[in-house]
Amino acid sequence: MYKIAVLPGDGIGPEVINEGLKVIHKTAEKVGFDYETIFYDFGGERYLEKGGDPLPDSALTEFKEMDAIYLGAVGHPDVKPGVLEHGILLKMRFSLDLYINLRPVKLYPGVWTPIKDKGPEDIDFIVVRENTEDLYVGMGGFFKKGTPDEVAIQQSVNTRKGVERCIRFAYELAMKRKRKKLTLCDKANVLTYAHDLWRRVFNEVGNEYPDVEKDFAFVDATTMWMVKNPEWFDVIVTCNMFGDIITDLGAMIQGGMGVAASGNINPNSVSMFEPIHGSAPKYKGTNTANPIAAICAGGMMLDHLGEKKAAELIDNAVSKALASGKIKDLSAGKMGMTTSEVGDLIASLI
């Protein structure tokens, strides 16, 4: 019996999570595993109503007893930017030490990509984003704030331990893939301390993986190659900030924010799964957002739990739904179907 914490969150979060749960339910029936969902209402509405800590420590203690966490999105137009993102999402990533953010960039057959002449055989890689360090640690501060002499400092923290465990995870993942190629995406030509560490660790750990083909790409060039020659990539490993940025680009080349899923992973403890998109407030309650990213995140969650057959069923059902031509466009409001109809379609294909 798996215990899954469900945080639908804000905006379109509840709508897309609903469809993800619908598909998980159907899959569980088919494969025959049991699970229990425990719902939490953390998000903008609750914060506006009750105030206080957007995600109390007691909830984190409960999450540690669960098998997985399934999150919609956080971010509310009436709450100051950063309060919920830091208070809920980043707090979870940091406190639960979810040090890997795994983000597949996979173009399914039949899905439109803005890149001319590229197809599913060209766009199939995965980004391993470091998830607990870098500019995200919240270190820094203001000096003479609000004056003409104001200084703002935001520090990027890169530890040997943090970099090494991320790079090692990426090598292990590369070993499991057919192509076994790992690209380090960095900015070692400018960040001569932080990314010197990344390069040294990449090479040192790489000695233990002679079967993995190693490559380097500066982050600016990475964005160029992702558009020009996406087929060069198999596994990309990168720091937190760059991983955030390049995976929105990755989402667009795989069909859009509506289909890009992610896993926030602690290999030794509970992990969290979510679409990479946010709460898209303007589509809230319209039943027009694409639930596929959330459904795929559900698939990643089951895969992580060891339910390989279930994950495969979800992947195949998503693939069939996308190839069927029934979903006209993957953008919100243009699908020719509602959020729940897309969920029904995928559930029917399980």
As annotated, the active-site residues are 136, 187, 220, 244, 248
How far apart (Å, rounded) are the C-alpha atoms in residues 247 and 151?
A: 30
Nearer to ligand IPM (CB atom), residue 83 or residue 323: 83
Burial of 329 (0-12, 13-18, 19+ CB in 10 A): middle
Which residues form the interface with Mn ion (CB under 5 A)? 244
With CB cut-offs between 5 and 8 Å by kind, which of ligand IPM, ligand NAD, Mn ion, none does residue 5 bind?
none
Least distance to ligand NAD, CB of residue 130, Å: 16
| Minimum distance of ligand NAD from residue 74's CB (angstroms) | 4
| Comparison of 18 and 131: residue with beta carbon closer to ligand IPM | 131
Question: Per-residue contact track with ligand IPM, 56 to 75, x per CB under 6 A?
Answer: --------------------
The answer to whether 297 touches 273, Cβ cutoff 8 Å, is yes
Query: Which one-letter DSSP state was computed for residue 85?
Result: I
Q: In terms of CB distance, is 44 or 75 closer to Mn ion?
A: 75
Provide DSSP, 211-250. TSEEEEEEHHHHHHHHHH-GGG-SEEEE-HHHHHHHHHHH
Return the SS3 of 96: coil
Q: Which is nearer to Mn ion, 28 or 249 (CB)?
A: 249
How far, in Å, CA of 143 to CA of 150, rounded? 6
Within 8 A by CB and 6+ apart from 248, the residues are 257, 276
Residue in 23, 251, 253, 276 binding ligand IPM, rule: CB under 6 A: 276
Could you tell me the smallest distance in angstroms from the CB atom of residue 142 to ligand IPM?
A: 20
> Whole-number minimum distance, CB 298 to ligand IPM, in Å?
17
Q: Which residues contact ligand NAD by CB under 6 A?
A: 12, 16, 73-75, 85, 89, 257-258, 274, 277-280, 289-290, 293, 331-332
- The entry of ligand IPM, ligand NAD, Mn ion, none that residue 90 binds, CB within 5 to 8 Å by partner kind: ligand IPM
**88-120 burial code (b ≥16 CB/10 A, e <16):** bbbbbbbbbbbbbbbbbbbbbeebebebeebeb
Q: According to the binding rule CB under 6 A, does residue 259 interact with ligand IPM?
A: no
CA gyration radius, the chain: 20
Specify the residue for token string 């979510």: 274
Among 10, 130, 133, 244, indicate the residue that binds ligand IPM (CB under 6 A).
Answer: 244
List contacts with ligand IPM (CB under 6 A). Answer: 85, 89-90, 244, 276, 278
